[in-house]
């Protein structure tokens, strides 16, 4: 599994365990890169993967937000891109 997929899994876990509530603003990419000890490019790929999955949504100029997750997925296998 690639690092961006691992980060996406970690963020998904944070959403399902209540660390981030639905509608919560996520830290910016720079802060997430520091938190996960990686680059902004890797964070951007992880967030893009979560957007495709419908787990987060982005508003231009406002940031990235946690979407409402209707069920708690056991473990998603994010595809290689």
In tens, the pLDDT along 6-16 reads: 999 999 999 98
Location of structure tokens 């979407």: 67
pTM (2 d.p.): 0.82
pLDDT for the residue numbered 10: 97
Segment 21-78, tens digit of pLDDT: 999 999 999 999 999 999 999 999 999 999 999 999 999 999 999 998 765 554 555 6
Q: What is the CATH number of domain 3-66?
A: 1.10.10.10
What residue spans define the domains of the chain? 3-66
Half-sphere exposure of 49 (CA within 13 A, CB side): 23
pLDDT for the residue numbered 78: 62
């Amino acid at each position: 599994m690639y690092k961006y997929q691992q980060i996406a899994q970690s963020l998904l876990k944070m959403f399902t365990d209540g660390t981030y509530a639905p509608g919560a603003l996520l830290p910016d990419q720079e802060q997430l890169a520091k938190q996960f000890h990686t680059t902004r490019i890797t964070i951007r790929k992880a967030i893009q993967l979560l957007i495709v999955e419908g787990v987060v949504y982005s508003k231009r100029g406002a940031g990235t937000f946690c979407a409402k997750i209707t069920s708690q997925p056991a473990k998603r296998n994010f595809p290689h891109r």
